[in-house]
Structure 1
Amino acid sequence: MVNQFSRSELLFGADGMQRLYEAKVLVFGIGGVGGYVVEALARSGIGRIDIVDNDVVSLTNLNRQIIATNSTIGKYKVDVMKERILEINSNAVVNTYPCFYLPENAKEFNFSEYDYIVDAIDTVTAKIDIVVKGKEFNVPVISCMGAGNKMNPSSFEVADIYETSICPLAKVMRRELKKRNIDKLKVVYSKEVARKTIDNKSDEVSNKRAIPGSNAFVPAAAGLIVAGEVVKDISGVR
């Protein structure tokens, strides 16, 4: 019988699609990378997607985030993403967490109930804790490294964290995970050297924290690669 996942089933088979339907995936971060992760998970038939992000859609998200339109500015990203998921797959179960994840609020999440965890956030402390929780509860984690200030989407690779190079965020993660006796972590990272941003006097970049440059294609590519790994691992078809 023809359905919205008929084309996917030609590749993954009925058993693979059933595994995707039964899967529960937790995604941290619904930004330039995470939004495309969730988009692809929804279109691949993942049965339950829980999404975590405390931010609202802003004007400067329009250049790269799939949920960002003029009509969604000011709305919570998790709310916009949930509505989009259900427009794609009305049978999906979506739970939203409009919060900023840190070790202090980890108890709000029952990590043991998930089949896969996606880390698409920027805060190192939170990224590390997510990986630690994944190991503690024996749930696979995939983590995206830096996508800012880059122009080449073809430079992304899938690798273990200890096989990465060039990416400064990956270097920090390697060091911190080694301290915690984490011996492996699947990541998506870029071998492209980050560019220096062009001087900009806008209000956004005049604060103390440096704002990375971004575009429509690099974070999107990273997010789709992450989602592909999740879908292939859960379905068992690679």
Structure 2
Amino acid sequence: MLNQFSRTQLLLGEDGMKKLANARVAVFGIGGVGGYVCEALVRSGVGAFDLIDDDKVCLTNLNRQIIATRKTVGKYKTAVMKERMLEINPDVNVQTHNCFFLPENADDFPFEDYDYIVDAVDTVTAKIALVMKAKEKGVPIISSMGAGNKLDASQFKVADIYKTKVCPLAKVMRRELKKRGVRKLKVVYSEEVPTRPIEDMSISCRTHCICPPGAKHKCTERRDIPGSVAFVPSVAGLIIAGEVVKDLCAASPK
């Protein structure tokens, strides 16, 4: 019978669509990359999601984040993403967690129930903790490397972390994962040399903070505030979603 996923089923088949419908995917970080991951996965027929992020939509997110509009500024990103996903597929199951993932709260998440984990967070500490928890529970994980300060979306590649190059974040991740005995990790990374942001204090978040009221973590807390554009993190998110869909369809049923 014709339905909203009929065109997708022409490529993935009935069995593939059933696997997606029965899958539960956790997306950590609902920003420029993670938002597009969610968008593509819900449109592909994934049946259940956990969305983890403590940020609220900020005016500066409008340049790149799919959930950011003038109407959503100030709202929790997880809530906005959930509402959007339900408008796309009313049958989707979406659990939201308004918090940042940290080693201290890792046990608060039902990792054993996840079929796939997407790491779209932007701190090394959280990324390492996510990878270690995924490995401990035997859950597939894919990590996004740096998408900020980039202008060429065609430079993104899918690779094992130990085969990456150029990306500064990937270099740090290689070193830290090697220390911990992690032998492999699927990542999406760019081989583009990062562009150095233009120093302009008149538009700097450090001197003109416009984070939404009640924001627990402000951008001014970051050591560096990267530049961003609409057409780079979105591509990274779509590539990640593609890998998740293909891996889920290829996986053996639980």
- TM-score when scaled to structure 1? 0.98
Q: Aligned equivalents of 1:42 and 1:48: distance in 2?
A: 9
Q: Aligned equivalents of 2:161 and 2:204: distance in 1?
A: 36
Amino acid at match of 2:249: S
* Alignment-derived partner of residue 15 in structure 1: 15
* Structure 2 gap ranges (5+): 208-219
* Alignment-derived partner of residue 43 in structure 1: 43
Poorly superposed stretches of 4+, deviation over 2 Å? 205-210
Render the CA deviation track for 1:179-206: whole Å, top value 9, x for unaligned. Answer: 1110000000000000011121124044
* Structure 1 gap ranges (5+): none
- The answer to whether the aligner puts 1:200 opposite 2:200 as a matched pair is yes
Q: How many angstroms does 1:211 deviate by?
A: 1.0
Q: Aligned equivalents of 2:55 and 2:12: distance in 1?
A: 35
* Alignment-derived partner of residue 108 in structure 1: 108
Q: How many angstroms does 1:210 deviate by?
A: 2.2
Aligned partner (choices 224, 228, 242) of residue 214 of structure 1:
228
Render the CA deviation track for 1:36-86: whole Å, top value 9, x for unaligned. Answer: 000001000000011000000000000000000000000000000000010
Q: Aligned equivalents of 1:85 and 1:79: distance in 2?
A: 10
Q: Secondary structure at the match of 1:25?
A: strand
Cα-Cα RMSD: 1.1
Q: How many angstroms does 1:235 deviate by?
A: 1.0
- The answer to whether the aligner puts 1:235 opposite 2:231 as a matched pair is no
Amino acid at match of 1:191: E
Number of residues of Structure 1 aligned to a counterpart in Structure 2: 237
- TM-score when scaled to structure 2? 0.92
Render the CA deviation track for 1:146-165: whole Å, top value 9, x for unaligned. Answer: 00000000000000000000
Q: How many angstroms does 1:35 deviate by?
A: 0.2
Identity of aligned residues (%): 65
